[in-house]
């Protein structure tokens, strides 16, 4: 018989252990098996490949890029596969990017005719400094080693298996565009497994893409029995709303082909940087990718990959040990309505039985509402204050700092301290029955919004159901002296499912999303109120979490500076304006540092040298510039080779020849243009038959062309309205700032690296055309 005084200790230990396990169980952990069976995935083999292909930055068009092509081609041939290098001009109309691409393609012939399974990743790294170990070298080596293990079984699959390692994904999904729209094998693809990354660690999330409902995809995924599925339909619904695309998006949009993305987002600070290296990739994360590939490869090799179209969507979520739980969207509204009816019934019965009163219920809303409001405001303004205290964080453009995990701990701990602080008096004066109504009511409101606007979050009904069970026990069970452990056990599924979400949002979307973490923390606290109300001295827990938060804040402050392992991103451009006959140094950094000071000098000018500058991923603008000497750079030859009026149309042809083998040519318009057709090196942008124009633009980037061959000429041909006038800038960029003999530059220190997501370490020649 356990003494009552130990109930609280056991309850607290269960909660802590559950939260810990909710993260621990997400992916494989343990030592690498050096010599696994030949038919098993070998992490050591995968790492050998990764080490080779990530020695240097290998963006499309670079020298190292060609080395990686040859390496992957050779390794596939060693497996006995015939390999094709698909060379194809590709244009992405959504991102308005273009390049000559080289996809690496191979095929394992199946025993039967039918649709093929396609394994997909990309081998190019982000321009110009990323080593691309995680994004997406990890995907490439996962496929290479996975195929080796599969072929070692010497069993012929039922379905064809196509391996497609694409080029120029980072430039606008161009390799995928080339394959889907130009390669004959694309018509035979039934399903795609795509391996990606937006960081260098953490669990890999399953995100699916389909033009219909997800029912058949989820059922097939479940039948494959992957051991560590991490997925939920909230991410599925949100992902469909976001502008973020992967190669798989092209398969869905242009080929009506469904598939699964597997991507990890932990250690987001390494994303697209020079730190995305072989050494920094989390091996457990790599094994997690393999834990998806091997079961799915073996399942879909012998089961149909045809007809995944469905009119039904499933709510789904993962639970450690139990795997993926799912049910139809059609259940969401009835579950919500049923919960509302049961809630009203229980409240009515509770009042009738005098278990609680309306005044008691009202008073129960006070601490919950205060905790929720203060915690949310604390997250919003607390993060803004931290950006003022640490302005260097603004230069980490994707928004997740090196000490970001500490900040998550800070805000979650302080939120729990706030909750316990405001509830400590109410825990003594109010009953569980009075206090449980507020969080239950708020969870019901959320589920009402979910039922009408975001059914993918339909599993949010689970906390409601648990709280309704607890409410029923409180109303109908007169003996409530031993409920603390029972209510704790009831909370376990909720903690397992929802605790990882607290971390996921700020890691994946940046620390500005700490507000979601604090919001979820208060909601989960609300679920645990029936437990916490029975704890003695909740003030001690408030103080404990305050102490944890302070310690995490101190740790975050200690690690707020840059070091060899936490490199400072900075940027510099040399821009030569041909028309103005002026030159500038320009930087995207919020502050001038020792490296950029050698260019910008003591008194740089705040802002940009021009309103129209090269596009950046997060719409980052140039922050500082200064005029400088004009250097002898070979200017491009830009020619208007065609300009004619045909009826109500004006047809224009533009030719751009780089005399210095530039890497990128970007064309920016200063005036609105409506294009009836648009062609790049004879490759046309697709036109929606329902639309009059291929695309319309008010101002900004018309096209970014990435050059891959020395003698490459860019030929643009487009049709616009008869009276259309042009005022465009042509920006020709070359990543040669450190190798150009015109410049003498002191290199970055060992704690610095090129800033990602912006044009960097480049010389730019700007030419304005009006015609």
What is the per-residue pLDDT across 143-198, written as a single tens digit (0 to 9) for each?
999 999 999 999 999 999 999 999 999 999 999 999 999 999 999 999 999 999 99
* Contact between residue 652 and residue 643 where contact means Cβ atoms under 8 Å apart: yes
For the beta carbon of residue 9, count every other beta carbon within 10 angstroms: 11
Task: Report pLDDT for 614.
Answer: 81
* Contact between residue 161 and residue 296 where contact means Cβ atoms under 8 Å apart: no
pTM: 0.94
Q: CA 403 to CA 558: how far, in whole Å?
A: 9
Write phi, then psi, for 523 (nearest 5 degrees). -60, -45
3-class DSSP state of 504:
helix
pLDDT in tens, 554-611: 999 999 999 999 999 999 999 999 999 999 999 999 999 999 999 999 999 999 999 8
Task: Report pLDDT for 37.
Answer: 85
How is 432-465 classified by DSSP, letter by letter? HHHHHHHHHHHHHHHHHHHHHH-GGGGGGHHHHH
How many angstroms separate the Cα of 487 from the Cα of each of 35, 295, 438, 651?
47, 37, 17, 73
3-class DSSP state of 165:
strand
Q: Residues with Cβ < 8 Å from 582, sequence gap 6 or more?
A: 576, 627, 630
Q: CA 437 to CA 443: how far, in whole Å?
A: 10
pLDDT in tens, 759-770: 999 999 999 999
Residues shown for the chain = 771
Nearest to 460 by CA among 473, 442, 438, 436: 442
Q: 527 pLDDT band (50/70/90 cuts)? A: very high
Nearest to 471 by CA among 441, 523, 433, 438: 433
Task: Report pLDDT for 502.
Answer: 97
Task: Report pLDDT for 159.
Answer: 97
Task: Report pLDDT for 587.
Answer: 96
* Contact between residue 257 and residue 190 where contact means Cβ atoms under 8 Å apart: yes
Residues of the chain by 3-state class (helix, strand, coil), percent to 5: 45, 20, 35
Task: Report pLDDT for 686.
Answer: 85
Mean pLDDT of 302-321: 94
* Contact between residue 707 and residue 765 where contact means Cβ atoms under 8 Å apart: no
Least confident segment among 308-312, 427-431, 437-441, 731-735: 427-431
Q: CA 175 to CA 188: how far, in whole Å?
A: 18
DSSP 6: G
How many angstroms separate the Cα of 285 from the Cα of each of 167, 288, 290, 312?
23, 5, 9, 32
Q: CA 99 to CA 120: how far, in whole Å?
A: 19
* Contact between residue 224 and residue 299 where contact means Cβ atoms under 8 Å apart: yes
Q: Residues with Cβ < 8 Å from 248, sequence gap 6 or more?
A: 120, 176, 192, 194, 209, 259, 260, 261
Mean pLDDT of 526-530: 97
Cα dihedral value 8, 10, 13, 19, nearest 10: -90
Going by their DSSP bridges, the two strands 568-570 and 752-754 should be labelled as parallel
Q: CA 395 to CA 274: how far, in whole Å?
A: 15
Q: Which CATH architecture has domain 38-319?
A: 3-Layer(aba) Sandwich (3.40)
Q: CA 611 to CA 691: how far, in whole Å?
A: 30
Task: Report pLDDT for 2.
Answer: 61
In this predicted structure, the answer to whether residue 244 has a pLDDT above a threshold of 80 is no
Nearest to 80 by CA among 171, 184, 154, 190: 154
How is 395-437 classified by DSSP, letter by letter? GSTTS--TTHHHHHHHHHHHHHHHHHHHHHHHHHHS-HHHHHH
Q: CA 441 to CA 460: how far, in whole Å?
A: 13
HSE value, Cβ hemisphere, 13 Å, CA-based, for 697: 24
Task: Report pLDDT for 241.
Answer: 74
Give the ranges where 153-270 is alpha helix by DSSP (H): 174-182, 215-224, 233-241, 247-255
* Contact between residue 663 and residue 721 where contact means Cβ atoms under 8 Å apart: no
Task: Report pLDDT for 4.
Answer: 64
How many angstroms separate the Cα of 183 from the Cα of each of 87, 103, 104, 255, 589?
10, 10, 12, 11, 42
How is 646-680 classified by DSSP, letter by letter? ETTEEEEEEEEE-SS--SEEEEEESS-EEEEEEEE
Q: 479 pLDDT band (50/70/90 cuts)? A: low
Burial class of 653 by CB neighbour count within 10 A (0 to 12, 13 to 18, 19+)? middle
DSSP 688: -
In this predicted structure, the answer to whether residue 650 has a pLDDT above a threshold of 70 is yes
Q: CA 241 to CA 479: how far, in whole Å?
A: 49
Q: Above pLDDT 70, what percent of the chain?
A: 98
How is 335-383 classified by DSSP, letter by letter? HHHHHHHHHHHHHHHHHHTTSS-HHHHHHHHHHHHHHHHHHHHHHHHHH
Name the residue ranges covered by the structural domains of the chain: 4-22+330-558, 38-319, 568-771
3-class DSSP state of 57:
coil
Place of tokens 């042009």: 726
């Amino acid at each position: 018989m356990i003494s009552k005084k130990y109930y609280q200790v056991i309850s607290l230990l269960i909660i802590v252990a559950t939260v810990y396990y909710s993260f621990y169980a997400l992916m494989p952990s343990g030592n690498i098996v050096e010599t696994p069976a030949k038919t098993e995935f070998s992490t050591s083999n995968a790492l050998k490949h990764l080490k080779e292909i990530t020695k240097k930055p290998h963006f499309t068009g670079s020298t190292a890029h060609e080395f990686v092509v040859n390496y992957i081609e050779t390794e596939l041939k060693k497996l006995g596969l015939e390999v094709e290098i698909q060379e194809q001009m590709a244009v992405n109309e959504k991102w308005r990017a273009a390049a000559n691409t080289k996809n690496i393609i191979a095929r394992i012939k199946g025993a039967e005719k039918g649709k093929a399974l396609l394994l997909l990743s990309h081998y190019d790294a982000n321009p110009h400094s990323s080593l691309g170990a995680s994004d997406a070298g990890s995907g490439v080596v996962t496929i290479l080693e996975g195929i080796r293990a599969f072929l070692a079984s010497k069993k012929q699959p039922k379905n064809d298996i196509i391996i497609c390692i694409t080029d120029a994904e980072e430039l606008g999904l161009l390799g995928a565009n080339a394959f889907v729209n130009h390669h004959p094998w694309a018509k035979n693809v039934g399903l795609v497994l795509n391996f990606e990354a937006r960081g260098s660690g953490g669990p890999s999330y399953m995100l699916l893409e389909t033009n219909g409902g997800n029912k058949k995809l989820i059922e097939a995924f479940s039948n494959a029995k992957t051991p560590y599925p991490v997925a939920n339909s909230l991410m599925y619904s949100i992902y469909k709303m976001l502008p973020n695309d992967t190669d798989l998006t092209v398969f869905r949009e242009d080929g009506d082909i469904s598939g699964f993305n597997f991507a990890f987002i932990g250690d987001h600070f390494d994303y697209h940087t020079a730190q995305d290296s072989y050494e920094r990739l989390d091996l457990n994360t790599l094994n997690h990718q393999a834990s998806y590939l091997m079961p799915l490869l073996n399942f879909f090799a012998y089961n149909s990959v045809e007809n995944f179209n469905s009119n039904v969507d499933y709510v789904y979520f993962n639970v450690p040990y139990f795997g993926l739980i799912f049910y139809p969207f059609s259940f969401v509204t009835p579950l919500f309505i049923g919960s509302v009816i049961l809630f009203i019934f229980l409240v009515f019965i509770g009042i009738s039985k005098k278990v609680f009163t309306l005044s008691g219920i009202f008073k129960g809303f006070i601490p919950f509402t205060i905790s929720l409001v203060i915690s949310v405001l604390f997250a919003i303004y607390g993060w803004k204050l931290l950006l003022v205290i640490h302005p260097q964080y603004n230069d980490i453009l994707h928004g997740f700092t090196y000490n970001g995990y500490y900040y998550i701990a800070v805000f979650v701990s302080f939120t729990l301290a706030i909750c316990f602080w405001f509830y400590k008096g109410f825990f003594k004066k109010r009953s569980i029955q009075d206090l449980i109504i507020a969080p239950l009511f708020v969870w019901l409101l959320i589920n009402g919004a979910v039922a009408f606007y975001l059914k993918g979050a339909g599993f949010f009904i689970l906390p409601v159901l648990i709280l309704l069970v607890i409410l029923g026990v409180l109303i109908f069970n007169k003996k409530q002296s031993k409920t603390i452990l029972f209510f704790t056990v009831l909370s376990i599924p909720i903690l397992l499912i929802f605790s990882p979400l607290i971390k996921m949002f700020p890691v994946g979307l940046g620390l500005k999303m700490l507000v979601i973490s604090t919001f979820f923390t208060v909601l989960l606290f609300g679920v645990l109120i029936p437990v916490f109300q029975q704890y003695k001295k909740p003030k001690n827990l408030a103080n404990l979490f305050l102490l944890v938060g302070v310690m995490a804040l101190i740790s975050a402050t200690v690690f707020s500076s840059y070091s060899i392992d936490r490199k400072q991103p900075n940027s510099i451009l040399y821009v030569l304006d041909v028309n103005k006959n002026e030159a500038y140094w320009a930087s995207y950094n919020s502050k001038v540092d020792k490296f950029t000071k050698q260019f910008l000098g003591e008194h740089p000018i705040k802002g940009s040298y021009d309103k129209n500058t090269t596009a950046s991923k997060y719409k980052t603008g140039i922050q500082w510039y200064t005029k400088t000497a004009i250097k002898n750079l070979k200017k491009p030859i830009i020619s208007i080779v065609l300009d004619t009026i045909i009826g109500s149309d004006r047809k224009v042809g533009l030719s751009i020849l780089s005399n210095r083998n530039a890497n990128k040519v970007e064309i920016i318009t200063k005036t609105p243009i409506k294009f009836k057709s648009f062609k790049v090196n004879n490759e046309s942008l697709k036109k929606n038959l329902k639309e009059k124009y291929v695309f319309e633009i008010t101002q900004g980037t018309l096209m970014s062309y990435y050059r891959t061959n020395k003698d490459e000429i860019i030929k643009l041909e487009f049709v616009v309205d008869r009276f259309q006038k042009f005022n465009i800038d042509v920006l020709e960029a070359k990543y040669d700032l450190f190798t150009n003999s015109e410049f003498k530059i002191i290199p970055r220190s060992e704690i610095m690296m090129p800033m990602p997501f912006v044009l960097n370490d480049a010389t730019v020649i700007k030419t304005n055309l009006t015609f």
